[in-house]
Amino acid sequence: MSSSTFSLLFVVATTAAAFLSSSTPVSALPFNIPPLPIKNPWLSFMNLSGCHVGEHRAGLSNLKHYLNRFGYLSAAPNFTDSFDDALQAAIMTYQHNFGLNISGEIDDATLKKIVLPRCGVPDIINGTSSMTPLRGRGLFSYFPGNPTWPGSRSELRYAITSTSAVSIDISTLKAVFARAFARWSAVTTLNFTETESELDADITIGFYNGSHGDEEPFDGALGTLAHAFSPTDGRFHLDAAEAWVAEGDVTEASSDGAVDLESVAVHEIGHLLGLGHTSAPEAIMYPTLTTRTRKVELASDDVEGIQTLYGTNPNFEGMAPTMSNQEMNGGALGLMARSGVGQVVLRVLPAIAVGFLTLS
């Protein structure tokens, strides 16, 4: 691990520890709305500190559900509170993906990462798509089978279809999502236009509470923040229960649980276009987002990943991707031939979500 990576992880962990130790009430947008209580649904995992293989400790079954939810552990009829070999292997894969010391134990650095709010899309999909990079390219990843929007659909229309569950005014939402889409059109050949008609839209954006019809229920404030589906599904859902900050400086928000809407939007649009998660902490497609943090700039890892799929905007002045489309497609076909897997995230998510339903 490079020293800069280590430093960044340390900062993230320190920030996480700060918000975990606080019970300061939250203030949602705008800043003068009375604060509401907020509780991290994953905070109880901190009780598992120091746990290692062979131990039996209450709460390990919940951690297994979490690791199953994000693709690290296979589903089981009932998870027990025993720290078995499968859990150790899952912890080690998680530690590898997040650049942590691969101890196989539930150490404090691992716990501080696990309890951070994050994207609901799994890091490993059906055991094939993962944050583990192919040799000779960036850390970015794609969904199994590398689904993309076809070249004939480079002009994509999006509609903001469900906003009644949040109190953010529509003009503010329109501006946030327009800026988020513009980050991706600036580096690729894709263009995005807002449409008022859901029927006319390739991409639909909505805020929802709890269960909302796709077997991916939201979990209230913190925990999972949002999720989006791989091409060409087009659905992008946000957890209405978050303390979303859609305008103003999120770092100045009075709530420790404040989440920057534009930062999450830029990330989820990456999924809508075909990007999976990355191990590069500075990248937009990194799975976690620290509260009260704005992260909207595409990193070189994001740019390389998306340009490999869609080509480069002629006006983009950064570096071109190092791997050609032909190389990428050849690699993908090879992967599919070896694994026999062609499913996209849509067909995999419901199975992974089963464990999540029982997470308390």
Binding footprint of Zn ion on the chain (CB under 5 A) = 119, 121, 214, 216, 237
65 has binding-site annotation: no
Angular region, 269: left φ>0, alpha ψ -120 to 50, beta rest: alpha
Tell me how far apart the terminal alpha carbons of the chain are, to the nearest angstrom.
34
**What minimum distance in Å lies between the beta carbon of 287 and Zn ion?**
6
Nearest to 250 by CA among 86, 23, 27: 27
Burial of 50 (0-12, 13-18, 19+ CB in 10 A): exposed
Residue number, 83 or 218, with CB nearest to Zn ion: 218
Q: Which residue is nearest to Zn ion (CB)?
A: 119
Residue number, 12 or 106, with CB nearest to Zn ion: 12
Is 194 noted as a catalytic residue in this protein? no
- The catalytically annotated residue of 268, 282, 297, 327 is 268
The CA distance from 91 to 225, in Å, is: 22
**What minimum distance in Å lies between the beta carbon of 264 and Zn ion?**
9
The CA distance from 357 to 349, in Å, is: 12
**What minimum distance in Å lies between the beta carbon of 225 and Zn ion?**
9
267 has binding-site annotation: yes
The CA distance from 354 to 60, in Å, is: 17
202 has binding-site annotation: yes
**What minimum distance in Å lies between the beta carbon of 61 and Zn ion?**
25
242 has binding-site annotation: yes
The CA distance from 146 to 157, in Å, is: 21
Residue number, 27 or 290, with CB nearest to Zn ion: 290
239 has binding-site annotation: yes
Binding site for Zn(2+), residues? 119, 212, 214, 227, 237, 267, 271, 277, 285
Binding site for Ca(2+), residues? 202, 219-220, 239, 242
User: Catalytic residue numbers?
Assistant: 268
